[in-house]
Amino acid sequence: MYTKESADRFIEENKHLLRQDYRLQYHLMAEYGWMNDPNGFIHYGGMYHLFYQHYPYEPYWGPMHWGHAVSRDLIRWDYLPVALAPGEGFDKDGCFSGSAIEHEGRLVLMYTGHTVTGPDKDRDYKQAQGLAVSEDGVRFDKWVGNPVIRYDQIPDGVSRKDFRDPKVFRRDGHYYTVLGSNDGRGRGLVLLYRSDDLTEWEFVSIAAMSDGTLGDNWECPDLLPLGGRDVLILSPQRVPSQGNNYRNLHSTTSMIGKLDLESGKFSYDHYCPVDYGFDFYAPQTASDPWGRRIVIGWMDMWENEMPTQRGHGWAGAMTLPREILQDGDRLIYRPVGEIVAYRRNPHKAYDVDVEGERVMKVSGDSYELKVVFDAGDALEFGLKLRTGGDEETVLSYRPEHSLFRFNRDRSGIGPGGERRASVELEGGKLALRIFVDRSSVEVFIGRGEKVMTGRIYPGERSLGIKAYAVGACRIESFEKWDIG
């Protein structure tokens, strides 16, 4: 038996054992143990609430709980008691991902209950959807009528096992939720259900389905209005690579289109990655009172090495929260403005000529960089971060191929590899906004039309920053702040 109380007690008794060397300074992590998907992201009661998939007892995936943290500014987070733990019924083997909504002043969580049905826990299972309700935004009680969307409400032609990750929203006087699944024949899909009261649900339609090129199972769908249109963000599993895109085993993609509430169909013309790096999965969005739509994702990737699982007591982190903006037929992403308040120790330099390698006068392990390169005649140019000894994380650009690269082959003890993104210069210039936080790098390219995220695990003495060029280029501006 798992309980919220035993989880909280274990965390309190063991969190002092954590090793701190790769702990992030301005990103959300679990207090202790394992963290994956963000859940229940909402602005409620004057605070941002973020829940997360959590196994509090070890830095490994286990029977899922819901961790819970709150923030006034999306940067500094305070931990609250564990919100959900596996029970005795439909969720006895895990409280999987879901979302949150305010209903009659209460904070309501909608989540997936997971039940293992046979000897092979990876193949023998079933899933259904339930609710938990809080009067104060802190303590949650599971609804006595759970599950509210049962196994027998799965339509024909849809997986009898993969049926999860409800994202609930209200539109035109009704509640709706989208759920991730597949057709059992290699095509991921999203289901749409409707309710008047959150407790009685009816199936509307298969809202969208892969054509066979976008993964065999769709997870964590999020359907949101933006700029007069609808955006569907989801995490497809096992997407075959498409050129430089979708190079990870599992990916995240976005589609701009329109949801027809009568037919339940979501129509769209094209899709594109949400993040072009290594470690970004299962994002969830929330709106806030200032009209922003903010997205946050899990800053790790399934079936990848996670060095902090060995002797550190924790694994998993969230990305820096990002504002989503619509720019014609594409989305752009910007770090939330609140991060500026955490800047310390400014350093600025202008008109810096680079030919070969140049050591910059600043260093660190938790900082923000804003850099504008004038490409000049360089065949290649970029930055080397967290340098020291043989270690470096390389961000580079090749004008001839309009190609930006993020290489972590020499980034420390974690996994290596390279991710690439097609990027056009604007007036011969490349603008980068980079956030480094001990064991993470997030790169916002241009105006935020491309973002690349990756975990790195360099030694504690690898603190240097270098610029380099093959040929000659110029750094028009170089700005650095420690983030503290």
- For the question of whether the overall pTM of this predicted structure is more than 0.75, the answer is yes
Query: What's the CA gap between 115 and 92, in Å, rounded?
Result: 6
Q: Give a three-class secondary structure readout of 72-115.
A: CCCCCCEEEEEEECCCCCCCCCCEEEEEEEEECCEEEEEEEEEE
What number is the average pLDDT over the span 460-475?
A: 98
Is the pLDDT assigned to residue 375 strictly greater than 90? yes
Is the pLDDT assigned to residue 254 strictly greater than 90? yes
Is the pLDDT assigned to residue 412 strictly greater than 90? yes
Q: How confident is the model at residue 336 (pLDDT cuts 50, 70, 90)?
A: very high
Is the pLDDT assigned to residue 1 strictly greater than 90? no
Phi-psi category of residue 144: left, alpha or beta, with phi > 0 → left and psi -120 to 50 → alpha: alpha
pLDDT computed for residue 245 by the predictor: 96
pLDDT tens digit sequence for 32-61: 999 999 999 999 999 999 999 999 999 999
Q: How confident is the model at residue 258 (pLDDT cuts 50, 70, 90)?
A: very high
Q: List domains and CATH numbers for the chain.
A: 4-335 (2.115.10.20), 344-483 (2.60.120.560)
pLDDT computed for residue 2 by the predictor: 96
pLDDT computed for residue 344 by the predictor: 98
pLDDT computed for residue 200 by the predictor: 98
pLDDT tens digit sequence for 157-186: 999 999 999 999 999 999 999 999 999 999
Q: How confident is the model at residue 353 (pLDDT cuts 50, 70, 90)?
A: very high
What percent of the chain has pLDDT above 70?
100
Query: What's the CA gap between 149 and 201, in Å, rounded?
Result: 6
Q: Of 251, 226, 227, which is closest to residue 237 (Cα–Cα)?
A: 251
pLDDT computed for residue 96 by the predictor: 98
DSSP 233-270: EEEEESPPPBTTB--SSB--EEEEEEEETTTTEEEEEE
Catalytic one among 37, 165, 279, 300? 37
Is the pLDDT assigned to residue 25 strictly greater than 90? yes
What percent of the chain has pLDDT above 90?
98
Q: Of 340, 352, 373, 342, which is closest to residue 445 (Cα–Cα)?
A: 373
pLDDT tens digit sequence for 209-239: 999 899 999 999 999 999 999 999 999 999 9
pLDDT computed for residue 340 by the predictor: 98
What number is the average pLDDT over the span 65-91?
A: 97
pLDDT computed for residue 261 by the predictor: 95
Phi-psi category of residue 91: left, alpha or beta, with phi > 0 → left and psi -120 to 50 → alpha: alpha
Is the pLDDT assigned to residue 325 strictly greater than 90? yes
Catalytic, 211? Answer no
What token pair was written down for 435? 């956030």
pLDDT computed for residue 484 by the predictor: 86
Residue 150 CA: distances (Å) to CA of 82, 113, 128, 202, 484: 25, 10, 5, 10, 47
